[in-house]
Chains A and B, each alone.
Chain A
Amino acid sequence: MDDWRDGIFEAIKAAGVTQVAYVPDAGHSRLIERSIEDNDLRAVSLTTEEEGVALLAGAWLGGAKGVLLLQSSGVGNCINMLSLARTCAFPLVMLVTMRGEWGEFNSWQKPMGATTQGHLELCGATCYRCDRAEDVRETVESAFRFAHYTNSIAAVLLGQRLIGAKVFEEPAAC
Chain B
Amino acid sequence: MLNRRDAVRRLLDDRGDMLVVAGLGQPCFDCFAAGDDPRNFYLWGAMGGAVPTGLGLALAQPDRRVMVVTGDGDALMSAGAFATVGAEAPENLAICILDNERYGETGGQVTHTARGADLALMAAAGGVRDTRTVRTEAELADAIGALRNGAGPQVAVLKVAPESEPGSLPPQDGPHLKRRFRSAALGVEDK
Which A residues fall within an 8 A CB radius of B?
18-19, 21, 42, 44-48, 50-64, 66, 80-81, 83-84, 87-90, 151
Known: A61-B53, A84-B46, A84-B53. 11 other contacts (CB 8 A): A18-B60, A53-B49, A54-B49, A55-B52, A61-B41, A61-B181, A62-B19, A62-B60, A80-B47, A83-B45, A89-B175
Min CB distance B81 to A, Å, is: 5
Q: In chain B between 69 and 88, which residues have their CB closer than 8 angstroms to a CB of chain A?
A: 78, 80-81, 83-84, 87-88
In the complex, which residues of chain A have a beta carbon less than 8 angstroms from the beta carbon of B27?
none
In the complex, which residues of chain A have a beta carbon less than 8 angstroms from the beta carbon of B41?
61
For B57, the closest partner residue in chain A by CB is A58
In the complex, which residues of chain B have a beta carbon less than 8 angstroms from the beta carbon of A46?
52, 84
The reply to whether A58 and B60 contact each other, CB–CB distance below 8 Å, is yes
The reply to whether B78 and A88 contact each other, CB–CB distance below 8 Å, is no
Query: What is the total number of residues of chain B having a CB less than 8 Å from a CB of chain A?
Result: 39
- Stretch in B103-111, B157-165, B182-190 with 4+ CB within 8 Å of A: B182-190
Known: A87-B174, A88-B175. A59 touches B84 (CB 8 A): no
- Please measure, in the bound complex, the distance between the C-alpha atom of A42 and the C-alpha atom of B87, giving whole angstroms: 12
Bits for B38-69, please: 1 = Cβ < 8 Å to A, else 0. Answer: 00010111111111111111111100000000
Which B residues fall within an 8 A CB radius of A?
19, 21, 41, 43-61, 78, 80-81, 83-84, 87-88, 174-175, 177-178, 181-182, 185-186, 188, 190
How many residue-residue contacts, CB under 8 A, span A and B? Answer: 122
In the complex, which residues of chain B have a beta carbon less than 8 angstroms from the beta carbon of A63?
60-61, 182, 185-186, 188
The reply to whether A51 and B178 contact each other, CB–CB distance below 8 Å, is no
User: B57 is contacted by which of A18, A59, A81, A88 (Cβ under 8 Å)?
Assistant: A59
Min CB distance B47 to A, Å, is: 7
Min CB distance A34 to B, Å, is: 19
Min CB distance A41 to B, Å, is: 11
The reply to whether A88 and B174 contact each other, CB–CB distance below 8 Å, is yes
In the complex, which residues of chain B have a beta carbon less than 8 angstroms from the beta carbon of A18?
60
The reply to whether B46 and A80 contact each other, CB–CB distance below 8 Å, is yes
Interface pairs (18), CB distance under 8 Å: A47-B80, A48-B80, A51-B78, A51-B80, A54-B53, A57-B56, A58-B55, A58-B56, A61-B57, A61-B185, A62-B56, A62-B57, A62-B61, A84-B49, A88-B174, A88-B175, A88-B177, A88-B178
Min CB distance A39 to B, Å, is: 14
The reply to whether A90 and B80 contact each other, CB–CB distance below 8 Å, is no
Known: A58-B52, A62-B185. A51 touches B59 (CB 8 A): no
The reply to whether A58 and B46 contact each other, CB–CB distance below 8 Å, is no
